[in-house]
Amino acid sequence: MKSRTLLLLRISLGLFLVIWGLDKLVNVEHGLTVSEKFYLGAFNSALLLKAFGVVQVVAGVAIVLGSARRFAYPLLLVVTATTLLAVWRSIIDPLGWYLKGSSMIFYPSLIVFAGALVLWAFRDEDRLALDDRTPTR
């Protein structure tokens, strides 16, 4: 059961990263809007967003397959942690009772980050990952 559970978590988080990446490639305007609203405009370059999109898609596919986990999982943690920090108000006050700009729709960012941590913490027990099936040199 543990292997199948880790597989499901790996596939769902990997696809989540692929979807985020594809959105940056296909809907650049949306990415620019998100950058402006949540990241203080730090990524307000179409070229930079597209580069991030490519990296996210490649990392997401690697995560789905369970390959290059040594690099893909830390990247997943950085991406989900960055998102978590960007929506911190919604984590602390999801109902918006005392922090302006919070929304419960972003609360799952904490759950996604926690899932990424679980995936990384139990990577050695993921027997259905491609990395686990290839011999080490």
Which domain covers residue 62, as residue numbers? 2-124
- Residue 25 domain-assigned (yes or no): yes
- Residue 80 domain-assigned (yes or no): yes
pLDDT of the residue at 30: 80
Query: What's the pLDDT tens digit per position in 81-100?
Result: 999 999 999 999 999 999 99
- Residue 130 domain-assigned (yes or no): no
Distances (CA, A) of 134 to 66, 68, 75, 103, 111: 11, 11, 22, 44, 31
- Residue 21 domain-assigned (yes or no): yes
- Residue 137 domain-assigned (yes or no): no
Residues of the chain with pLDDT under 50: 137
- Do 24 and 56 contact (CB within 8 A), yes or no? yes
Q: pTM of the prediction?
A: 0.87
- What SS3 class is residue 114? helix
- Residue 132 domain-assigned (yes or no): no
Burial of 66 (0-12, 13-18, 19+ CB in 10 A): buried
- Residue 68 domain-assigned (yes or no): yes
Instruction: Note the Cα 67 to chain centre separation in Å.
Output: 16
Query: What is the rounded distance in angstroms from the CA atom of residue 69 to the CA atom of residue 129?
Result: 9
Report the domain count for the chain. Answer: 1
How many Å is the Cα radius of gyration of the chain? 16
pLDDT of the residue at 133: 65
